Amino acid sequence: MGSGNRTSVRIVGLLAFAVLLAAAVVASIAIGARDLPLGVVWEALRERGGTDEAAGIVHGLRIPRTVLGLMVGAAIGAAGALSQGHTRNPLADPGILGVYLLNITSPMQYTWFGLLGAVVAAGLVFYFASLGRGANPLTLILAGTGLTAVLVAITSAIVLIDTASLDAWRFWQVGAVSGRGWDVIYAAAPFIAAGAVLAIASGRHLNVLALGDDVASALGSRIGVSRTVGVVAITLLVGAATAACGPIVFLGLIAPHIARFVTGPDYRWIVPYSALIGSVVLLWCDVLGRVVARPGELQVGIVVAAVGSPFFIVLIRARNPVSV
């Protein structure tokens, strides 16, 4: 496909996903335990200070939930693209495990401690991967897998000996955007914004790294610096998103693969596309979770896992997974 045709496809795809995102935002505000007609939603949005029940639902519950879904979906989607790009592994999915102790209760404390855990985990992975001949995609994957097993064991030991921690962990572990307010959004937004800037700036460097470390070095790329920036971006994005909503599995795997079908292998397009697709998928899964289990709802982490599991199975059974 020529460069002109590819650019046209990318622009058309961008517009299509933007329309899907706009529709998801409207559905997220209108659909729930109590469905609201679009006219009622519009009136509630116009009358920001309204005191009726519809205005309370829209402004107090659904707009914060929708905004958080947009942020978290974009963060995890972009982090997934970075993870697959730096490891050159099409099955890579960003995952950060956080443990909340010390009677921490405020959203800002959650975010800081979540990021602290993410920084420590990422630093250890990078350190262990660098032992010997230095970090490369294979050693990053192996170090991450081993450290994940250790952290899961530590977390299980902690929550099993403390009832309060177990109750909080079970709710957090599901992954949800419901029940969060503007305080959570304000706490997570600065870190996600900083991570997004680094992620978009990494696109050109990921294109070079995709050629292999030897070629990248010959072209003058500073591989260590590029990977460090990538790890910092992933840490900020996934650390803040996980602290706010809990782990949302498979989203970071799905979004980059959908993006590549439209953009091709250029990470300057894959990263922002993955962020957009992550928001689209998360919001629509959240809406689906409200519809299928009425009068209750399924948390978005469960719905994304249900959607992502078949995608993952198809991907690993394919003879030639989409190239990173």
Q: If pLDDT is split at 50, 70 and 90, which confidence band does 30 have?
A: very high
Q: Do 79 and 237 meet the contact criterion of CB atoms below 8 Å apart? A: yes
Q: Cα(first)–Cα(last) distance of the chain, in Å?
A: 18
Coil, strand or helix at 72: helix
CA-based max dimension of the chain:
65
Domain 71-317: CATH superfamily is: ABC transporter involved in vitamin B12 uptake, BtuC (1.10.3470.10)
Greater pLDDT, 295 or 17: 17
What does the pLDDT read at residue 227? Answer: 81
pTM: 0.78
Nearest 5°: the CA angle 50, 300, 163 is 100
pLDDT in tens, 83-95: 888 777 776 666 5
Greater pLDDT, 219 or 97: 219
